[in-house]
Chain A
């Protein structure tokens, strides 16, 4: 079918909205609209005029054959402008301190539609700023009441946002219900159109460390970041920019740039061993590399805390390797080293602060920067990312296997662990090391594989909403997997709470695909084949067998409710 947009014939599909049909043809501004969420149509900014003179919201109006739509009439302009101006007045401008500065819909729309940001007095100046679990900052003075955070948090089955009041007294706020606690997944951040929610910023401290001549500042880069950070600098989603990223980090002043993928290989090696051992005992093991998932279990399913793998996550394993093995090798006092993780995730900030992850009374990861934060630092330093000459990761913690590359996507951790569990621990000859049953971005994937003649059940799920369904079935005895992989964010880390915005299904697929290409192209595709890893174990772990467990394993426990703390 066809519709006409501003007089131009455009093909459309039935069931499409005007907004969807106009995609790529004419820009229609939106704020509350997000393709992951239900159409709410509450910001009233995506207005278009129909032939009968009626204004409708493009996000909520379905196309009809022959429909004529106008996107920039006097009527549209008048209503859109005043609605935008009233929205601006809900949002206290704190642009200089905001990492969305210059990458901000409100700023763009103010310019494009000649809306005055200061037409009205900011009416939310006296509202609160909250910190959730020391990790997520929610600034009510910037909230425009779109309710995306509430919806996405409910979809995640976390239920930490609530709404109270009516009319202009409506307010989005952290729930007082003691049953719920923020799991720090950060999906609220990537679904907030105006930057009212953000991760606890670490970039100012990192900037200070980089300036401090006495410190050795080491960066490590998570698997999925190399396929997403390009978006911050205008690359197509899924463009792998590993070399440019290493280069830009060096330019920012990092002394060494290592690969979290090396840490992922350690995690795989350790976790596969643990899985293999638990299989003998008939005990379910669930993955531990997603800190939001770990916190979710610790708070919501404390009876399953013992089933969480004790293996530390890749960022922690690498952090330990840096402050022990690397420090010793380079004869550097580990207390002078600052480890900075570049993560697709805000929950990693929570993880880095967990006291039981300290080693020798030191934090193994000092700061965590999200993909967005590190891009923000590069922009501040006026680094032209696109002009960077690609460089390799530093030795000795820069090498990794293909198994590590796929850690960034749902199913990847399990696939990596299976390769090592079967090949190394079970000594089974594998025809293929591609476990396609557990790939893809569906919410829940199941597989059965044979290990030493025994049928092993596997469930891989992403998005805490899906994970909750699986856990409730396990709790009720209706599912009994041996291994369970969970990533809190739908699709895995490629869709993490620290990733660039916007995000949607196409972008997620584009970010995931190159990770499998990297795996396929890798010289070594199994974690235990990583020569760097072999060297680490040979040169260090085997010499300090007493330290092995403390270096790479941790403990999990029932979490108390952190709730929300007022910060202003």
Chain B
């Protein structure tokens, strides 16, 4: 095993996007893939509500993340790396990043796509100047990525962790975004094996009122009640984020907010997501809510959407109904 893969494997680093994919395996796949050129892409699309950890990295430790990217270019012999930045991040941090990049083959790209731009293949479409829609998989980006070449796509936080690994300073921590009612919106760097309860308590964010949380993202994340917090974030799909809600938060407003968000962010490629989110909102806004139909649509979204965005639409709603309040 080569040194880089050995380091990543030993660190047991899992990608900090929402795929929960072991970073070492991804790097190895790109390394072994055959292609005339290879590319590195750093995903800083960060479009999920309640998630702002990449912004924290840009603000506080961009140098460490850039080190991670530089290492990826060198390790893979990549032609270049592209940092795909959310529009406001691009405005705010581009000059700072350019200074850090210097003469390295790292380009900055201002995002075009919104939330769906975070899906790695939609991001590649965006980089290639096309409509921002996910690609059919397989093939996966490590084999066929940017311009049809093997491509490593990692989240900014992943590159930050890699930078730490290279410096010998990685302590198996991950960045957790706290937000919600009675909570100061803030990023904490916490041991990844802490339970959610411990994370809330140790950061002084354990609410004094009865509450529930959404973990893994403020839209696509899982809803848990306050007695279900003995698990770690690793057990739950999604990003490093904990959103706190007051127990009195009504279901109507919550569900409406989630559905509105997904409808606004759907790219429109596939039927369940394009039509489904539209119809979910229509049902919520109608005088008499047809919950059976609503659930049928959620079923189609979960089981037949083209990409992860559509599949994740039902998650907050269904887990809210299951863990917090049964649907009326």
Contact = CB atoms under 8 A, between A and B. Distances in A.
A binds B: yes
A169 B268 contact: yes
A60 B271 contact: no
A72 to B, nearest CB: 15
A284 to B, nearest CB: 36
Contact of A167 (B267, B304, B305): B267
Contacts of A44: 270-272, 300, 304-306
A47 interface: yes
A166 B265 CA distance: 8
Contacts of B276: 82, 86
Interface string A195-229: 00000000000000000000000000000000000
Tell which of B116, B271, B305 has the most Cβ of chain A within 10 Å. Answer: B271
A167 B303 contact: no
A145 B274 contact: yes
B80 interface: no
Interface residues of B, number: 31
B254 interface: no
B299 to A, nearest CB: 6
Contacts of B271: 42-45, 83, 86-87
Which secondary structure characterizes the binding site on chain A?
Answer: loop
Interface in A138-175: 145, 163, 165-170
Tell which of B275, B278, B297 has the most Cβ of chain A within 10 Å. Answer: B275
A41 interface: yes
Contact of B270 (A41, A82, A123): A41
A120 interface: yes
Interface in A20-64: 39-45, 47, 54-55, 57, 60
A166 B268 contact: yes
B136 A41 contact: yes
A79 interface: yes
A9 interface: no
Given A42-B270, A44-B270, A79-B300, A89 B306 contact: no
Nearest to A162: B131
Nearest to A121: B282
A167 B264 contact: yes
B303 A79 contact: yes
A17 B275 CA distance: 26
Contacts of A47: 303-304
A395 B265 CA distance: 65
B269 interface: yes
Interface string B259-289: 0000111111111101111110010000000
B268 A168 contact: yes
A428 to B, nearest CB: 50
Nearest to A59: B136
A86 B267 contact: no
A42 B275 contact: no
Nearest to B275: A86
B304 A55 contact: yes
A482 interface: no
B300 A82 contact: yes
Given A41-B306, A78-B299, A168 B266 contact: yes
A167 B115 CA distance: 12
Contact of B268 (A40, A123, A145): A145
A439 to B, nearest CB: 35
A168 B296 contact: no
Contacts of A119: 293
Contacts of B296: 78, 81-82
Contacts of A41: 136, 270, 306
A168 B279 CA distance: 10
B87 to A, nearest CB: 15
Nearest to B305: A44
A510 interface: no
Given A44-B305, A55-B304, A167 B277 contact: yes
A558 interface: no
A168 B300 contact: no
Contacts of B275: 83, 86-87, 89-90, 168
Contacts of B267: 166-167, 170
A167 B116 CA distance: 10
A75 interface: yes
Contact of A120 (B268, B269, B270, B282): B282
A167 B136 contact: no
A280 to B, nearest CB: 49
B300 A165 contact: no
Interface string A103-121: 0000000000000000111
A41 B114 CA distance: 22
Interface in B147-196: none
Contacts of A167: 263-268, 274, 277-278
Given A79-B300, A82-B296, A86-B275, A168 B263 contact: yes
A332 B125 CA distance: 64
B237 to A, nearest CB: 16
B268 A86 contact: no
Interface of B: 114, 116, 131-132, 136, 263-272, 274-279, 282, 293, 296-297, 299-300, 303-306
Interface of A: 39-45, 47, 54-55, 57, 60, 75, 78-83, 86-87, 89-90, 119-121, 123, 145, 163, 165-170
Given A79-B300, A87-B271, A120-B282, 19 more contacts: A41-B270, A42-B269, A43-B271, A44-B300, A44-B305, A47-B304, A55-B304, A78-B296, A82-B299, A83-B271, A83-B275, A86-B276, A86-B297, A87-B275, A145-B268, A145-B274, A167-B268, A168-B268, A170-B267
* 4 nearest A-B pairs in the assembled complex, by CB-CB distance: A170-B268, A86-B275, A168-B278, A167-B266
12 contacts: A42-B271, A42-B306, A44-B272, A81-B296, A82-B272, A83-B272, A86-B272, A90-B275, A119-B293, A168-B266, A168-B277, A170-B268
